[in-house]
Structure 1
Amino acid sequence: MNNCYILGLDVGSVNVTATIAKIDNDNFSVCGIGKAKTSGLKKGVVTNIEKAAISIRKAVAEAKKSAGTRPDKTVVSISGAYAKSVSSQGIVSIPNDEITINEIKRAMQMAKDNARLEKEQIILHVLPYEFKVDGQEFIEDPIGMSGSRLEVCVHVVTAEENSVRNLLKATQMAGLKIDSMVLSGYASAISTLNKDEKELGVALIDIGGATSDLIVHLGNSIRYNGVVPFGSANITMDLSHALSTPLKDAEDLKLEYTKLLHSGVKELNLPTIGESSKTHPASLDIVTNVIYARIEEILLLLVNDLEKSGYLKNGKLGAGVVLTGGMAKLDDIRNLTSLVFDNMPVRVAKPRMVAGLYEISDDPENACSLGLCLYGAGEFTAYEIDSNGELKYKDAEISTLSKQSVEINDTENRVEKEVHDIDKNFPIDISKISKNKDEISIITKFKNWITQLF
């Protein structure tokens, strides 16, 4: 890929982050970033298309100004609030006794067609996590192998069609043409997880403004995705209610909490809600209780989700939990998470270091937008059917003969698709398909622990 500029657009419920990266002879560098406060979205879902478009336009304009160029390709995130998932399976014969990219594509397409999904869902990703050749299991990559039968097990990620269309309309109004759509948790995983964590099994938690995305990566691919409809914005609301202070001041208090904790301050003077000229005293202990009570609730909901998925048992998460997103910056969240997850190993992750504007890697908030750029640059699973219904694969792992073969096959499929394509105006061609909380409490234990530290 020579001299291509990729825009990663993370449309969050609190902030829209636009990151522009340059790909030149396989060298990756970030050259622009822009942020804007989000309007027209709630809990990851578009509620006002025009307001959402304005927020997107502002963030992208700032990124373009920073980069000094326009992007050639745009990859946008889809909130976990939209997404559902299901496992599926495909089996095909191998006519020439050697597996080529065509056999892999046919098997994955079969698995996609076999997926049983709810109505009004569209496919975002078809991600293979296990291949079998003539019944032999644990095949990492079947390309070039001999056999007569290929089987693939896939994780299919889908989203609500109308919600996706509303997001696409907002991006179109902002003057963008979307090339790919990526689950936000998947993008964050690309920029934060290392090879060992993926192989051992890991739960990535991206705690955003209004939602917290959960991804389980085990072996070759994502195996589970979920979402909790709470995030750091709920902490701001809780602080505002508990302290009778305006939302803006509650947000500032949340962002400055770590500094206040280390400064030794015990009491604060806060503006009074509805009376901007008046202030009132508030104990820092109340702030601590409110913040960690909400974090505990979010983490317990995530634990419950993981227990239902079945991946919390039997040592499937050998690498433990990785935290990223804006709330991952909160003081001692690693220790609290370890307590909630029964002393599992926990790592707080920033995005990987990159060339260019390396400062982007200092902030966990940028994990998703950087991951989108990396996805656009070719950082994805070895094989994948993407949001356009096209097979993506790592060029280095495919022979020239296989590449020529799949290009011929893709041409035939595109001709057939154009004949049967009904909705010509939909910018991304994605196939439409049918488709307790635990009552334990550890906040007192944690408060005592943190009191001993400070």
Structure 2
Amino acid sequence: MIPDSDIHAVIHLSSTAVYTVVGYFDVHHKKIQIMGLGLAKTDAFFGGQIVNREHLLSAIHKSLREAIDMAGVQVSYVGLSFASPAMMGENGIQDKIITGQNPTGDTLGRKINHDDVRDILNDAKVGLAQKGHKDVQLCQQRFWLDDDQSGKDVVGMLAHKLTVGYHLISVPSMFYAQIKDLMVSNNLEVHPMFFDGITSSEYALSSDEKQRGVCFIDIGAALTKVCLYQEGMLLYTRCLPVGGQLVDMDIASTLGLTLLEAESLKKHHGSANASKQSKSDFITLKKRHHDSELTVHLYKLASIIEARYLALLHEIFDELTAKGLDQFMDMGVVLAGGGADMRDLPSLIERQFGVGVRQMDINPKVAVHTELLSDDDIGLLKTHLSDPKLHSIIGALMYYQSEQYARDERGQFGDLDRVGFFGRVGQKCQSWFDKLRQLL
């Protein structure tokens, strides 16, 4: 029997659907076991904005009900994963003087405890209110003791001053309140909230990639999420209001097609790298709602697609370069999302930016918990898990039970009761600290 405290539910809001997954971490097999999954198609949260509150409420309820009915459990609190261009990600450093006294009354340092870490991280959030923002997620990076380099865990160590580097993600306070209200209206308490880019990274990236330096780019229907890691630490996040649907709109407006025709043409004949497309190739396209045909020059089609992807990629890489973060990409780029499933996109990135690229693979650390499930539900879950489109929601459950999340929660809320996290990630890199102090 699995203890209820080990079972978690996570809801993911995307531009095309609401997903809910219920599962737990199997310590023995080192895998996430999926017990239930719910899916409600909707565009009520399109582009990271609440477009239709009532429709979104209904989709959340339907998705959650499907998942918990399949899993045979009840939940009153959930994790929530989402992304929005309104999100702001920033690196920071915060200090705290550690005081104690000896019998003569002299001020001394002392052993650091969880309260010290919690206080310093909470202090990091204080300035958000003045900006009209509320924190969604805070990820610890590194600690310094008395200005000397340290590691990722300093509780119990002696120091006069504690310094922490962190990455803080926030949204406007009113937007945060609206998201919370959606959950409350479904009789749910939300904890924690996650940035979709981080949870997707948990599914898509290996620990070696995060250690050596990698840029994760997740291109969805209406949004693109970006995360940069080095030495196992999150250094950069961004959510851009650009996705695969903009490519469809460019094709439709240029060639005089409907969005459905443009999307079909892109999927079956498109290329993101015009240099890979012969200039002598044409196809005849039968239009859906007219008794007419259209001759399409495939090189022109590839040029339209390439232009939109290059505009997006330049916005990403130009900012990384401006921030001095392009030096932390030894493992190149990992692509995910339906919008990244575009023929010749990796070769375009390699040609234009000179970095290696790979497409996300199905994560082998995810399995179906077959106990108490019907054969139909087992078959349905296995089909879902073979679909890379579910990387965001599965990644949210994986991150919920990850080492990074455990460390961040200990820092902000004290010791956790649950155990069974993924193996520790991290090795010291002497040059890293100097680079981080310069950046922050």
- 1:234 Cα deviation (Å)? 0.8
Aligned partner (choices 337, 347, 350) of residue 361 of structure 2: 350
* Alpha-carbon distance change, 258 to 174 in structure 1, aligned in 2, over 3 angstroms: farther
Match of 2:34 among 30, 43, 46: 30
CA contact (8 A) 2:209 2:331 kept: yes
Is the partner of 1:126 in helix, strand or coil?
strand
**2:201 pairs with one of 157, 164, 189:** 189
SS in 2 for 1:112: helix
Q: Percent identity at matched positions?
A: 22
Aligned to 1:19: 21
Is 1:292–2:344 an aligned residue pair?
no
Matched, 1:216 2:228: yes
1:269 to 285, 290, 295: 285
Contact conserved, 1:122 with 1:159, CA < 8 A, in 2?
yes
SS at match of 2:218: strand
Cα pair distance change 1:160/1:220, threshold 3 Å: same
* Aligned equivalents of 2:344, 2:69: Cα separation in 1: 36
Amino acid at match of 1:46: I
5+ residue gaps in structure 1? 399-454
CA distance in 2, matches of 1:394, 1:350: 33
Displacement of 1:91 after TM fit? 1.8
Query: Aligned equivalents of 2:343 and 2:59: distance in 1?
Result: 30
In structure 2, stretches of 5+ residues that fail to align are 101-108, 369-380, 422-440
* Pairwise CA distance, 1:31: 3.0
Aligned to 1:340: 352
Q: In the alignment, is the contact (CA less than 8 A) between 2:22 and 2:34 conserved in 1?
A: yes
Mean Cα deviation higher: 71-80 or 228-237? 71-80
Residue 410 of structure 1: aligned partner? none
**Letter of the aligned partner of 2:349 in structure 1?**
T
Does structure 2 conserve the Cα–Cα contact (< 8 Å) formed by 1:123 and 1:159?
yes
Q: 2:389 aligns with which of 365, 369, 388?
A: 365
Aligned match of 1:105: 118
Contact 1:90 1:110 in 2 (8 A): no
- The aligned amino acid for 1:125 is Q
1:76 aligns with 2:80: yes
The one of 29, 53, 56 aligned to 1:52 = 56
Deviations 1:54-96 (A, max 9, x none): 3333443444455455556421123141211331312230647
Distance 2:154 2:25 in 1: 29
The secondary structure found in structure 1 opposite 2:190 is coil
CA distance in 2, matches of 1:301, 1:390: 37
Shift of 1:121: 0.4
Q: Matches of 2:313 and 2:77 in 1, distance apart?
A: 36
* Corresponding residue of 1:2: 3
SS in 2 for 1:150: strand
Deviation at 1:25, TM superposition (A): 5.9
- Tell me, yes or no, if the aligned pair for 1:10 and 1:16 is still in contact at 8 Å: yes
Matched residue, 1:422: none
Would the aligned equivalents of 2:225 and 2:240 in 1 still touch at CA under 8 Å? Answer: yes
How far apart, in 2, do the equivalents of 1:229 and 1:107 lie?
33
SS in 2 for 1:383: helix
Q: Deviations over 1:339-375 (max 9, x none)?
A: 232x112222235221114555544422221121123
Task: Tell me which of 294, 297, 311 is aligned to 2:325.
Answer: 311
Shift of 1:177: 3.6
C-alpha deviation, 1:11, in angstroms: 1.0
Secondary structure (helix, strand or coil) at the match of 2:228 reads strand
* Shift in CA distance, 94/217, structure 1 to aligned 2, threshold 3 Å: farther
Q: What residue identity is the alignment partner of 1:44?
A: G
User: 1:376 aligned to 374, 378, 400, which one?
Assistant: 400
Question: Which residue of the partner structure matches residue 330 of structure 1?
Answer: 342
1:382–1:393 Cα contact (<8 Å) kept: yes
Q: Equivalent of 1:91, from 74, 93, 96?
A: 96
Shift of 1:100: 3.0
What SS does the aligned partner of 2:262 have?
helix
The alignment's TM-score, normalised by the length of structure 2, stands at 0.77
1:199 Cα shift?
A: 1.7
Q: CA 1:279 to 1:162, structure 2 compared with 1: closer, same or farther past 3 Å?
A: farther
Q: Structure 1 pair 393/253, CA: closer, same or farther in 2 (3 Å)? A: farther
- Counterpart for residue 105 of structure 2: none
Please give the alpha-carbon distance, in whole angstroms, between the structure 1 residues aligned to 2:285 and 2:246: 22
Shift of 1:210: 0.8
Q: Hey, what's the Cα distance between the residues in 2 that align with 1:240 and 1:148?
A: 63
Give me the TM-score of the superposition, normalised by structure 1.
0.75
Q: Distance in 2 between matches of 1:141 and 1:293?
A: 46
Is contact 2:115–2:414 with CA below 8 Å preserved after alignment?
no
Letter of the structure 2 residue corresponding to residue 384 of structure 1:
D
* Distance change >3 Å, CA 326–CA 64, structure 1 → 2: farther
